[in-house]
Chain A
Amino acid sequence: MKGLLLKDFYQLIKYCKMFFLVDIVFMAVSFFSEGNALFISFPVMFSGILPLTLLSYDERGGWSDYCGILPYSEKQIVSAKYLFGLLSQAVTVVVVIGVVFIRGIVYPNYNFLSNLSAIGIMFVASLLFPALCLPFCYKFGSEKGRIGYFIVIAITTGCMPLYSTIVEGFEGAEAKSMNIIFPLILVGISALYIGSWLISIPLLRSVKK
């Protein structure tokens, strides 16, 4: 599976230069604008789309078919994409947290905890993209699989009022409520990510003609 991860890494470096540039701009804007939480957490959100982008390149370039001659099982092919997604998100989170800490050193009055919670929420939300879209992409191809993207948008938007209601339910204790709700959401979405991975394996097998 190392070969598959390495292939994705080479493609990421080559094809996603614009993605890195946008990330740097967003982090810089946040750094110099009183630690804007939205800007600092967007790179994390973007990183969630990477596995889908790479899968799309695999299909268009014929790698998905070429894999059939290599000693990889469908389980390894799918697992590599999910693992690469997690690794790229983890690296982005580490870099973004690093920026937040440096800002905390440069500007001692800066409350970086609020930025950290925004990053945490965005990390969890960004797991939704591959979790919901990848099974569609493996079954129907990345073009049709983009329908999953709209489902994610709909679910995320639909859950916002629910999430606000729950948070508001914890009277005046926002930080405390976050401490309870965030881990629950993290566990739920992690379970969804694992479930998505497990579903994608038979879905990839089923598309063999």
Chain B
Amino acid sequence: MNALEIKNLSKEYPGFKLNKISFTLPGGCILGLIGENGAGKSTTIKLILNMLRKDGGSITVLGRDSGADNRLTKEEVGVVLDEAGIPGCLNARQVGNIMRNTFKNWNASDYNGYLKRFALPLDKEYKDFSRGMKMKLSIAIAMSHNAKLLLLDEATSGLDPVVRDEVLDILNEFTRDENHSILMSSHIVSDLEKLCDYIAFLHKGRLMLFEEKDELLARYGILHCTEGQLSALSKDAIKHKKISAYGAEALVIRDKIPSAMSISPVSIEELFVYMVKEEAV
């Protein structure tokens, strides 16, 4: 079963439009939602959670329409938002008590285990937490009610590299169960590159690309050559190009480039930057 199916989803605000995006997250997989600030990542996640009213399209979460009474769905979806609204006066112990009375499948021993693993104090008030600690508490909550799908909005931002790596390990462990899936948005593309099976690029509310990560990396490469060599190539082979006084650099489709030419591997980050910033052919 697909964990998430989005078809022609649209939403319009003054100055922003999410333009009929469609993608699917298969069960047991991790999808990275990449986009610059304001691209529509958080809007997409809030629409999935029915926190915003969609203008058009359909969203199916764990086989259920997200527009209906979605309490059952939210029992099975763990969420980490960029800004968690946990009251500042509460400590981690009290948050645990509230969540125990909120989620039917709340697992207190998992929660306490994550608090210990993240070295979060039980009695310190939330308002005195650093941004990283707040994020870790949100992750602990999301992981402690036997969720089948995690929706993470910039969940690794604000974390130091060591903790970030640990969080990525936890997320990897989570998807060992084939019924578990993750949709993770971030502008720290390197995190997504480490973790994701699928990549979706959002740019100004448009879905520019949705593909399997390995396929993307196998299909595209970076070609360094002269401007003359570049112009001799088939236009179909070149997705984006950058020409400077020192030569040409282009994002190319490997299969369409003569084998004699040397092509470097492309990272997801480079692919993203090329697609967003550089001149389209």
Which residues of chain A have a CB within 8 Å of any CB of chain B?
A: 2-4, 6-7, 10-11, 14-15, 57-58, 61-73, 208-209
Contact = CB atoms under 8 A, between A and B. Distances in A.
Contacts of B49: 68-69
A115 B20 CA distance: 66
B81 A66 contact: yes
B81 A71 contact: no
B102 A73 contact: no
Contacts of A14: 89
Interface in B75-102: 75, 77, 79, 81, 83-90, 94, 97-102
A57 B87 CA distance: 8
A18 to B, nearest CB: 14
A11 B88 CA distance: 9
B52 interface: yes
B64 interface: no
A62 B69 CA distance: 22
A170 to B, nearest CB: 49
Which residue, A57, A62, A71, A72, has most C-beta atoms of chain B within 10 A?
A71
A51 to B, nearest CB: 15
Contacts of A67: 85
Query: For the complex, would chain A's binding face be called helix, strand, loop or mixed by DSSP majority?
Result: helix
A204 B102 CA distance: 20
A130 to B, nearest CB: 20
A70 B74 contact: yes
Contacts of A208: 51-53
B260 interface: no
A69 B79 contact: yes
A73 B71 contact: yes
Q: Is the interface of B mostly helix, strand, loop or mixed?
A: loop
A6 B100 CA distance: 10
A62 B79 CA distance: 15
B89 A72 contact: no
A72 B101 CA distance: 11
Given A15-B89, A62-B85, A66-B86, A3 B101 contact: yes
A3 B104 CA distance: 11
Contacts of A66: 81, 84-86
Nearest to A66: B85
25 contacts: A2-B102, A3-B99, A3-B101, A4-B102, A6-B97, A6-B98, A6-B101, A7-B90, A7-B98, A11-B89, A57-B87, A62-B83, A62-B85, A63-B87, A65-B51, A66-B86, A69-B77, A69-B79, A69-B81, A70-B74, A70-B103, A71-B72, A71-B75, A72-B71, A72-B102
Contact of B90 (A2, A10, A64, A71): A10
Contact of A69 (B69, B74, B94): B74
Nearest to A15: B89
A58 B88 CA distance: 10
Given A6-B97, A209-B13, 13 more contacts: A3-B99, A3-B100, A3-B101, A10-B89, A14-B89, A57-B87, A61-B88, A63-B87, A68-B46, A69-B81, A71-B75, A72-B102, A208-B52
B85 A70 contact: no
Contacts of B85: 61-67
A90 B74 CA distance: 33
Contacts of B53: 208-209
Contacts of A7: 87, 90, 98
Ranked 8 nearest A-B pairs via Cβ: A62-B85, A66-B85, A3-B102, A68-B51, A3-B101, A14-B89, A2-B101, A71-B74
A118 to B, nearest CB: 34
Interface string B40-52: 0000001001111
A153 B81 CA distance: 40
A92 to B, nearest CB: 21
Nearest to A70: B102
A150 to B, nearest CB: 28
Contacts of B72: 71
Contacts of B102: 2-4, 70-72
Nearest to B127: A61
A180 to B, nearest CB: 43
Contacts of A72: 71, 102
Contacts of A11: 87, 89-90
B146 to A, nearest CB: 13
A159 B102 CA distance: 42
A115 to B, nearest CB: 35
Contacts of B83: 62
